[in-house]
């Protein structure tokens, strides 16, 4: 029988993606094959980190990697981006004992009609937490309500940088991207341990090296 506590500890080594990559692959959060993306493009890899909510051990392990990235940063609150970032943000908030807020995707037309849930004070600095980044534009759009509310955003923290640390557009907008791992690193770790074939890894490397939409 698998010891869930040991599993979380093994997958939570900061800076080493091997154990976590294997667990993400096991639960289907990183899949390989042929997938049609939102853009209509075909991809040999698909990341669905929303599945973290179904495995508390892997979610806890991921939270440890986020905690390592957040340790040197200065901020007042964590801001999680709906929807995939919400359970991650909650896990990280509990792990670090730091307050959490989140911008709503849809502002309610009743009640207080708040665009941001949770307590905050304009002028505070928040660090944005999300699952992954494939293009900076979606992150910039998600951050807009925070800035409109008077909050300061300098840093964005994700588990996976799908494009391999291509943060040019985010840097141009004044944001610093911090990613635990790149997708090529995860593919390399899985290939090294026989989780995917050399041909599958080669297809992933070719795809990620190409200039094509990834959203």
Whether the predicted pLDDT of 103 surpasses 70: yes
Number of domains present in the structure of the chain? 1
pLDDT classification of 2: cutoffs 50, 70, 90: very low
Q: What pLDDT, in 10s, does the model give residues 134-183?
A: 777 888 888 999 999 999 999 999 999 986 544 677 888 889 999 999 88
State how far the Cα of 103 lies from the Cα of 117, in Å rounded to an integer. Answer: 6
Give the model's pLDDT for residue 107. Answer: 61
Concatenated DSSP letters of 13-49: -TT--HHHHHHHHHTTSEEEEEEE-TTS-EEEEEE-G
CA–CA distance from 115 to each of 23, 55, 66, 86 (Å)?
35, 30, 25, 15
Residue 214 lies in a domain: no
pLDDT (average), residues 65-89:
96
Residue 215 lies in a domain: no
Give the model's pLDDT for residue 165. Answer: 46
Question: Per this entry, what is the length of the chain?
Answer: 215
Q: 3-state DSSP call for residue 163? A: coil
Give the model's pLDDT for residue 6. Answer: 52
State how far the Cα of 75 lies from the Cα of 69, in Å rounded to an integer. Answer: 13
Q: What is the DSSP letter of 105?
A: S
What percent of the chain is predicted at pLDDT more than 70? 84
Q: What pLDDT, in 10s, does the model give residues 34-75?
A: 888 766 778 888 999 999 999 999 999 999 999 999 999 999
- Angle at CA 83, nearest 5°, toward 9 and 86? 45
Residue 10 lies in a domain: yes
- Angle at CA 59, nearest 5°, toward 56 and 64? 125
CATH classification of the domain holding 35: 3.40.50.2020
State how far the Cα of 149 lies from the Cα of 168, in Å rounded to an integer. Answer: 25
Q: What pLDDT, in 10s, does the model give residues 107-131?
A: 655 545 578 999 999 999 999 999 9
Residue 149 lies in a domain: yes
Which pTM value belongs to this model?
A: 0.87
Give the model's pLDDT for residue 173. Answer: 86
For the chain, the straight-line distance linking the first and the last C-alpha, in angstroms and rounded, comes to: 38
The range of the structural domain enclosing residue 199 comes to 4-209
Q: Whole-number mean pLDDT of the chain?
A: 85
């Amino acid at each position: 029988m698998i010891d869930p506590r040991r599993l979380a500890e093994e997958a939570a080594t900061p800076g080493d993606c091997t154990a976590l990559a294997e667990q993400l692959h096991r639960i289907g959060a990183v899949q390989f094959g042929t997938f049609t993306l939102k853009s209509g493009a075909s991809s040999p890899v698909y990341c669905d980190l929303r599945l973290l909510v179904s495995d508390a051990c892997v979610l806890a392990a991921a939270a440890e990697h986020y905690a390592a990235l957040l340790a040197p940063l200065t901020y007042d609150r964590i801001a999680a981006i709906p929807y995939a970032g919400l359970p991650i943000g909650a896990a990280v908030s509990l792990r670090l004992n730091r307050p959490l807020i989140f911008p709503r995707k849809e502002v309610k037309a009743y009640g207080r009609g708040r665009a941001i849930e949770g307590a905050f004070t304009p002028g505070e600095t928040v660090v944005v937490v999300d699952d992954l980044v494939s293009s900076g534009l979606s992150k910039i759009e998600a951050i807009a309500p925070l800035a409109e509310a008077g909050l300061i955003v300098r840093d964005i923290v994700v588990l996976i940088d799908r494009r391999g640390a291509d943060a040019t557009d985010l840097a141009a907008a004044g944001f610093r991207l911090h990613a635990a791992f790149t997708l090529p690193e995860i593919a390399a770790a899985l290939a090294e341990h026989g989780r995917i074939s050399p041909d599958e890894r080669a297809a992933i490397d070719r795809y990620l090296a190409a200039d094509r939409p990834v959203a």
